[in-house]
């Protein structure tokens, strides 16, 4: 189990942010706002406050958007 805020974020992203699986879909169907809410809620269950998450990665929405974009780009390249 993750022991630091950074480890928690990385673990959560790896297990929660996924590329679109449907062919022909230009991007993931996951909502960034929903993902941020889930990240914050999960962290709260680990006694990690939102402020600690933000201190670690900055703006949570931008961080998740970037991870989602990367996942989609990797998936698109894989399909080629």
pLDDT in tens, 27-71: 446 788 999 999 999 999 999 999 999 999 999 999 999 998 888
- The per-residue pLDDT for 28 is 46
Domain ranges of the chain: 5-15+29-79
pLDDT-based confidence at residue 6 (cuts at 50, 70, 90) = very high
- The per-residue pLDDT for 58 is 97
Note every long-range contact of 32-35, with CB atoms under 8 Å and residues 24 or more positions apart, other chains counting: 32/61, 32/64, 32/65, 32/68, 33/61, 35/64, 35/68
Length of the chain, in residues: 80
Please state whether 47 falls in left (phi above 0), alpha (psi between -120 and 50) or beta: left
pLDDT-based confidence at residue 24 (cuts at 50, 70, 90) = low
For all residues of the chain together, what is the average pLDDT?
Answer: 85
């Amino acid at each position: 189990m993750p022991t630091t805020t950074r480890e928690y974020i990385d673990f959560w992203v790896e297990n929660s942010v996924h590329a679109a699986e449907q062919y022909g879909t230009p991007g993931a169907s996951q909502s960034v706002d929903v993902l941020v809410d889930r990240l914050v809620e999960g962290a709260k269950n680990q006694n990690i406050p939102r402020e600690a998450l933000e201190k670690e990665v900055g703006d949570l929405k931008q961080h998740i958007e970037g991870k989602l974009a990367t996942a989609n780009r990797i998936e698109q390249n894989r399909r080629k």
